[in-house]
Amino acid sequence: MNLQAFENLELIPQLLKTIEDMNERLKRFAPPLTTKREVANFLGKSQSTINNYMATGRLKDGYHFHRKNDKMLVFIENAIIEFRNELHRGIANEKIKI
């Protein structure tokens, strides 16, 4: 049995604490992305552009956002971050056929 492998087990609590600290710092710098205004600010676009993205299917209902109680829009953070990355690479700007 390799005892050196067990010696590293004591590092696990330190690593978990470091990860938790990093997550807390990240939360302070990452903006919330659940409202249209927050998403528009994050993407550097106007709210009317966000409406156009939704109308043309660039932002997809059920993937990028959903409607709570059939009225209130709630955006999905991970999908919005992915969309921003696609915008920067030029992927999301391709024409969508309606």
Give the tens place of pLDDT for each residue, 53-86. Answer: 999 999 999 999 999 888 899 999 999 999 999 9
With respect to residue 61, please indicate whether it lies within any of the assigned structural domains: yes
With respect to residue 8, please indicate whether it lies within any of the assigned structural domains: no
The answer to whether 43 touches 2, Cβ cutoff 8 Å, is no
With respect to residue 20, please indicate whether it lies within any of the assigned structural domains: no
The answer to whether 73 touches 36, Cβ cutoff 8 Å, is yes
With respect to residue 63, please indicate whether it lies within any of the assigned structural domains: yes
List the domain range (segments joined by +) for residue 79: 36-89
With respect to residue 64, please indicate whether it lies within any of the assigned structural domains: yes
- How does pLDDT run across 13-68, given as a tens digit for each residue? 999 999 999 988 877 777 788 899 999 999 999 999 999 999 999 999 999 999 98
With respect to residue 12, please indicate whether it lies within any of the assigned structural domains: no
SS3 string of the chain?
CCHHHHHHHHHHHHHHHHHHHHHHHHHHHCCCCCCHHHHHHHHCCCHHHHHHHHHHCCCCECCCEEEECCCEEEECHHHHHHHHHHHHHCCCCCCCCC
